[in-house]
Structure formats: structure tokens, C-alpha cells
């Protein structure tokens, strides 16, 4: 497993993280073990997990400033939180999910691998105590962009960034979300499009927070879903 991780990291331009292969191998075996009793991932084959979970999570790594405080909204089984924490010990990560059970796995891995990760069991739209308190927000596979922005932008400081990790519908989702991003105090500063081999198209949409989010947001989830900002 360790050699496969090193080979795939090299193939995907991440050879610089080869020294962490052992930690990723531990993450893989624990993920499979816990996945037997908890639905953390549908992907279980070694190459699939390495590419679609580990490497995909790491595609965002160079966008995050040194020593940043980061919130991962809807981290599920810990992606991208856990891969980021393994290779970037300078970061202070908060892994948020509304399903507390999934966070027990994230806590278990953070302890086992001595990672600087805190978990938070809550809905992203219901954490006023954390408003405008993070440098960076990342989120993968949680909701369409026009819904996700209202969950994520309120949590970032002015001057901070929100990076949405999107698959093939990224461009279309961004068009749908532009009005809402502006209302929430954001401005799109980059859209990086690339292909993660046979895992398909990927988009990293980076939104900078330029003004504070108006107090009316985030609204309760029912309202966000019924009338997405546009
Ligand atoms: N980010 C992980 C990944 O890429 O593997 C998990 C993705 S999973 C498809 C979506 C996760 O988002 C679920 O674990 C769900 O509980 C969480 N989620 C959805 N809406 C949420 C909200 N409003 N606040 C917090 N978590 C939420």
C-alpha cells in the first residue's frame, strides 16, 4: 500500500508528499475498517481511495496560506480535512458536519495520527459563535454552489477565502451562484479547472470575502433551499 501511495502521488504531481505515505496507509486501513459499520465511503479499492479521496483532497493544498485557520464544511469522513492535516501541520483545522457519528472517525484519526484537527457537530448555518472567524473555508461534495455559499461565506473573516471543490458541473454552478456570492460579501478571484485522470473534471472555485456578510445570512436551511440567493 505504501508503495502504491508513493507511485500515485508521483503520477499526480504530489511526489513531495511521499514522506507521508505511511500516515495515508494508516488512514486507508482505518477508513475501510470503520466503513464496515458506518457509511463513510462508497469507494473502497486502494487506487480509488488514493486518487478520489486523498489526492483529490490535496488538490486544494497550495491555495491555503501558511498557518491558516480552516473550516471544512460538511467534512463527512474527513475529506479534505484529514489529508490536509497530514501534509500541512501548520494549519489549524475545524472539521464540521451535521452528522456527529461521522466525526467520531475524524476524531479517531486525528488522535491516531496526532493531527491538529478539532471536530464540530453542527449545521453550518447554525454556528453564529464561529461567524467571520476563519481564514479559509473549504468544502467538497456538500451542496450546489448557490446553496453552499450561504453555508460557507458567513464563517470567513473579511480578507479570507472560501474554496469550493467541485466536479464537472462547477462552471454551471458558479454562474447560478454569482449573485448570491456578491450579496454575501464575496468576489470570485479564481476558477481552476483540471482533470483528475479518470476521476474526471474538477473545479476549484476561490471566493474572497471583501465585505462582512449582512446579518440576515445565513438563513435557516429550509429558506436557503426554497429560495437560493441569486
Ligand atoms: N466532504 C466529504 C467528502 O467529500 O467526502 C463528505 C461529503 S458528503 C457527500 C456531504 C456531507 O455534508 C455529509 O456528511 C452531510 O452530513 C454534510 N452536510 C450537508 N449539509 C450540511 C450542513 N448544512 N451543515 C453541516 N454539514 C452538512
Q: In this structure, are residues 110 and 27 in contact, taking their beta carbons and an 8 Å threshold?
A: no
Domain that residue 133 falls in: 51-226
Task: Kindly provide the residue ranges of all beta strands, DSSP E only, lying in the chain, ordered along the sequence.
Answer: 69-73, 92-97, 117-121, 134-140, 156-166, 186-195, 201-209
- 104 inside domain: yes
- 8 inside domain: no
Report how far ligand 1's centroid is from the alpha carbon of 142 (Å). Answer: 5
Helix H or strand E encompassing 54: none
- 23 inside domain: no
Q: What whole-number distance in Å separates Cα of residue 78 and Cα of residue 111?
A: 13
Check which CATH number belongs to the domain holding 101 and give it. Answer: 3.40.50.150
Report how far ligand 1's centroid is from the alpha carbon of 106 (Å). Answer: 13
Q: In this structure, are residues 144 and 121 in contact, taking their beta carbons and an 8 Å threshold?
A: no
Which of 98, 140, 199, 225 maximizes ligand 1 atoms within 8 Å of its Cβ, making it the mutation to test the pocket? 98
Which of 74, 80, 204, 218 maximizes ligand 1 atoms within 8 Å of its Cβ, making it the mutation to test the pocket? 74
- 19 inside domain: no
- 41 inside domain: no
Ligand 1 atom at minimum distance from 165 CA: 4
Q: What is the pLDDT of residue 197?
A: 82
Task: Report which protein residue has its CA nearest ligand 1's atom 14.
Answer: 76
Q: Give me the number of domains the chain comprises.
A: 1
- 101 inside domain: yes
Which of 34, 57, 76 maximizes ligand 1 atoms within 8 Å of its Cβ, making it the mutation to test the pocket? 76
The per-residue pLDDT for range 14-73, each reduced to its tens digit, is 999 999 999 999 999 999 999 999 999 999 999 999 999 999 999 999 999 999 999 999
Give the residue-averaged pLDDT of 76-93. 98
- 79 inside domain: yes
pTM (predicted TM-score): 0.97
Give 132's DSSP letter.
Answer: T
The share of the chain scoring above pLDDT 90, in percent, equals 97
Question: Can you read off the three cell numbers belonging to residue 42?
Answer: 462508497
Does the structure show a pLDDT above 90 at 199? no
Q: Does the CA dihedral 118-173-160-189 come out positive or negative? A: positive
Give the residue-averaged pLDDT of 166-172. 92
Report how far ligand 1's centroid is from the alpha carbon of 211 (Å). Answer: 26
Report how far ligand 1's centroid is from the alpha carbon of 143 (Å). Answer: 8
- 130 inside domain: yes
pLDDT bracket for residue 117 (50, 70, 90): very high
Give the residue-averaged pLDDT of 170-199. 94
The per-residue pLDDT for range 122-148, each reduced to its tens digit, is 999 999 999 999 999 999 999 999 999
Does the structure show a pLDDT above 90 at 183? yes
Q: Residues with beta carbon inside 6 Å of ligand 1?
A: 74-77, 79, 96-99, 102, 123-125, 140-142, 151, 221
Report how far ligand 1's centroid is from the alpha carbon of 76 (Å). Answer: 5
Which of 43, 48, 142 maximizes ligand 1 atoms within 8 Å of its Cβ, making it the mutation to test the pocket? 142
Amino acid at each position: 500500500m505504501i508503495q502504491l501511495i508513493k507511485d500515485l502521488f508521483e503520477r499526480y504531481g504530489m511526489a513531495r508528499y511521499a514522506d507521508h505515505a505511511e500516515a495515508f496507509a494508516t488512514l486507508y486501513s482505518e477508513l475501510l475498517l470503520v466503513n464496515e459499520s458506518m457509511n463513510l465511503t462508497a469507494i473502497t479499492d486502494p487506487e480509488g481511495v488514493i486518487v478520489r479521496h486523498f489526492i483529490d483532497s490535496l488538490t486544494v493544498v497550495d491555495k491555503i496560506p501558511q498557518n491558516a485557520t480552516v473550516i471544512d464544511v460538511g467534512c463527512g469522513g474527513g475529506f479534505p480535512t484529514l489529508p490536509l492535516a497530514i501534509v500541512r501541520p501548520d494549519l489549524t483545522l475545524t472539521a464540521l458536519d451535521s452528522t456527529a457519528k461521522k466525526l467520531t472517525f475524524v476524531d479517531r484519526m486525528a488522535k491516531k495520527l496526532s493531527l491538529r484537527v478539532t471536530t464540530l457537530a453542527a449545521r453550518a448555518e447554525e454556528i453564529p459563535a464561529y461567524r467571520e472567524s476563519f481564514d479559509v473555508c473549504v468544502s467538497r461534495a456538500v451542496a450546489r454552489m448557490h446553496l453552499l455559499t450561504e453555508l460557507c461565506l458567513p464563517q470567513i473573516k473579511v480578507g479570507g477565502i472560501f474554496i469550493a471543490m467541485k466536479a464537472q458541473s462547477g462552471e454551471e454552478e458558479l454562474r447560478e451562484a454569482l449573485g448570491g456570492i456578491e450579496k454575501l460579501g464575496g468576489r470570485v478571484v479564481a476558477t481552476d479547472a483540471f482533470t483528475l485522470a479518470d476521476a474526471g473534471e474538477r473545479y476549484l472555485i476561490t471566493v474572497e470575502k471583501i465585505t462582512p456578510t449582512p446579518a440576515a445570512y445565513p438563513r435557516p436551511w429550509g429558506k436557503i433551499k426554497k429560495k437560493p440567493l441569486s
